[in-house]
Chains A and B, each alone.
Chain A
Amino acid sequence: DAGVIQSPRHEVTEMGQEVTLRCKPISGHNSLFWYRQTMMRGLELLIYFNNNVPIDDSGMPEDRFSAKMPNASFSTLKIQPSEPRDSAVYFCASSLSRGQSPNQPQHFGDGTRLSIL
C-alpha cells in the first residue's frame, strides 16, 4: 500500500523565493497534519485538517506560511517569502479518525528537507 507521499524530497532555494511543499495522504485517511522538525525545537505541529477543513493552525509561525487542502487526496504548504530560519524538515502525516473511536496512529511521509540560503 502506498504511504504518505511528499514532494519534493529536497529543496534548496534562496531567501525571498516562494516554496511549495506537497502531500498526498494515505487513501481513506481523513486527517492530515503538517509538522516541522529542527534540532532546536524538535517536531512541531503547524496545522492539521480533518475532512479537508483546517481545524487548528495555531502552530503556523506567521503569515508567510499558508496551507490548503482542496480535496481529500492533496495538500500544500506554502512559504512566501521564505527566510533562512525556515530551513527544516517538513513532514506531512495522515490518520483515520472514526467517530468516537480512539485516535488512530499517524503515518508520516518521508519529509521534505528544506534549505533556504
Chain B
Amino acid sequence: RKEVEQDPGPFNVPEGATVAFNCTYSNSASQSFFWYRQDCRKEPKLLMSVYSSGNEDGRFTAQLNRASQYISLLIRDSKLSDSATYLCVVNMARVGGKLIFGQGTELSVKP
C-alpha cells in the first residue's frame, strides 16, 4: 500500500464548478499535512497547509480527519487557472522530517 494515495483523476470540470479531491495516508503517526499544486512542466508549489480544525483560503478549503487518516481539498467556483495537478503531502514529523508526496490528481477546468 502506498504511503499517500489520491484519487486517480483526471477531473474535467466546467468553470464555476465545485470539485473535491481526497487523499488517504497509511501512517497514523503522520504529523503535518499539505496540499501542493504543480503546473505542467513546473515545480510543485505549496497551496496550503492542512490543520486539524480544517482551514479555508479563499475558494479553497482543506479538511483533515485523523481518525480516518483522510485529507480533502475543496475548490469552489473553479477557474480556468485552477487547472493543474494537486499533490497531497504528508510528513511524519512535526519538526524536520521528510515529505511524502501522493501521485497527484490532475484537474482540468474547461470554459
Which A residues are within 8 Å of any B CB, using their own CB? 31, 33, 42-45, 48, 50, 55-56, 91, 97, 99-103, 105-111
Q: Which of B42, B44, B45, B95 contacts A103 (CB 8 A)?
A: B95
Interface residues on B, range: 20 to 34
Q: Which of B43, B49, B98 contacts A33 (CB 8 A)?
A: B98
Q: How far is the CA of A101 from the CA of B25 in the complex (A)?
A: 23
Q: 16 more A-B contacts (CB under 8 A) besides A42-B104, A99-B95, A102-B95? A: A42-B103, A43-B44, A44-B101, A55-B96, A97-B95, A100-B95, A101-B95, A102-B32, A102-B94, A103-B91, A103-B95, A103-B96, A106-B46, A108-B43, A108-B45, A110-B43
Query: In terms of DSSP, what is the predominant structure of the interface of chain A?
Result: strand
Query: Is A103 in contact with B94, judged by CB distance below 8 angstroms?
Result: yes
Q: Which of B31, B34, B44, B102 contacts A91 (CB 8 A)?
A: B44
Per-position contact with A for B46-75: 1 when CB-CB < 8 Å, else 0?
100100000000000000000000000000
